[in-house]
């Protein structure tokens, strides 16, 4: 990069702003060119300072930081947006992703992670990074599958993990063989599996089965 990354800090906590200024002061490629504690002032300061990146708190004294992020993204397509938050919940992370934020960082993250987020946002404003993204996606996928499985299908998965055949599953559940086959087929479809082994592997990966409860093959 031929010039220093020009950042604006938008955070209602004076100590946080002071800490960010101190963090980047020793970085030869980053400079703070503006700061404010109010979201309402963010756009004007970003424009006046010709900022490359805005480091934005998710909870501001005058409103939701994500709304500010959305307004900035709508107005400045190439602006890097780093969302700082004391709340690392998955819902907030996915809202940030959907609104076009460049990076999602918790306030407890190591300094090196914050700096990496700023540098990423400066060169790839349109892409998204977050240290817990992979785990959050896995948790969302697990929750979606759990919600999609009926109690009967969840029982079928447990019985498959115990090594029962379709016929034995029908007997255990007091249903006909054809009904048991239907339950198994629906389970496979929801798990994206085509056989027992794939279903069990998917169940383990999604946390729907526990390894210690499986019957050895």
From the list 93, 152, 156, 118, the residue with the least C-alpha distance to 24 is 118
CATH 3.40.50.2300 domain span(s) along the chain: 5-131
CATH 1.10.10.10 domain span(s) along the chain: 137-213
**CA dihedral sign, ordered 130, 133, 136, 137:** positive
The reported pLDDT for the residue numbered 216 is: 61
The pLDDT-based confidence of 12 (bands split at 50, 70, 90) is very high
From the list 113, 112, 111, the residue with the least C-alpha distance to 132 is 113
Three-state DSSP string of 118-183: HHHHHHCCCCCEECCHHHHHHHHHHHHHHHHCCHHHHHHHHHHHCCCCHHHHHHHHCCCHHHHHHH
Mean per-residue pLDDT over the chain, rounded? 89
Superfamily grouping for domain 5-131: Response regulator (3.40.50.2300)
Tally of CB atoms within 10 A around 98: 11
Tokens for 62, please give them: 């005058």
> Would you give the distance in Å from CA 82 to the centre of its chain?
14
φ/ψ (deg, to 5) at 3: -135, 165
Tokens for 146, please give them: 């759990």
137-213 CATH, one of 3.10.20.600, 1.10.10.10, 3.40.920.10, 1.10.287.1080? 1.10.10.10
pLDDT one-digit tens code per residue, 133-185? 767 677 777 777 777 888 999 899 999 999 999 999 999 999 999 999 999 99
pLDDT one-digit tens code per residue, 81-138? 999 998 768 888 999 999 999 999 998 899 999 999 999 999 999 999 998 776 767 7
**Contacts (Cβ under 8 Å, ≥6 apart) of 35:** 8, 9, 10, 11, 17, 21, 45
Q: What whole-number distance in Å separates Cα of residue 213 and Cα of residue 154?
A: 14
Residue corresponding to tokens 């255990």: 172
**Contacts (Cβ under 8 Å, ≥6 apart) of 210:** none
| pLDDT for residue 1 is more than 50 | no
């Amino acid at each position: 990069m031929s010039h220093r990354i020009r950042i604006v800090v938008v955070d209602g906590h004076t100590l946080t702003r002071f800490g960010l200024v101190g963090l980047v002061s020793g970085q030869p490629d980053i400079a703070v060119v503006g700061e404010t504690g109010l979201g309402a002032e963010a756009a004007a300061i970003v424009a006046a300072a010709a900022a490359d990146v805005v480091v934005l708190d998710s909870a501001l004294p005058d409103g939701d930081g994500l709304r500010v992020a959305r307004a900035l993204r709508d107005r400045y397509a190439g602006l890097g947006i780093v969302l700082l938050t004391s709340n690392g919940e998955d819902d907030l992370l996915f809202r940030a992703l959907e609104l076009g934020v460049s990076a999602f960082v918790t306030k407890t993250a190591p300094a090196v992670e914050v700096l990496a987020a700023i540098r990423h946002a400066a060169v790839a404003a349109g892409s998204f990074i977050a240290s817990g993204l992979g785990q959050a996606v896995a948790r969302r996928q697990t929750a979606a599958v759990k919600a999609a499985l009926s109690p009967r299908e969840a029982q079928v998965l447990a019985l498959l993990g115990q090594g029962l055949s379709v016929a034995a599953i029908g007997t255990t559940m007091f249903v006909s063989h054809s009904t048991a086959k239907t339950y198994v087929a629906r389970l496979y479809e929801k798990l994206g599996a085509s056989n027992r082994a794939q279903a069990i592997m998917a169940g383990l990966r999604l946390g729907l089965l526990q390894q210690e409860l499986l019957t050895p093959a």
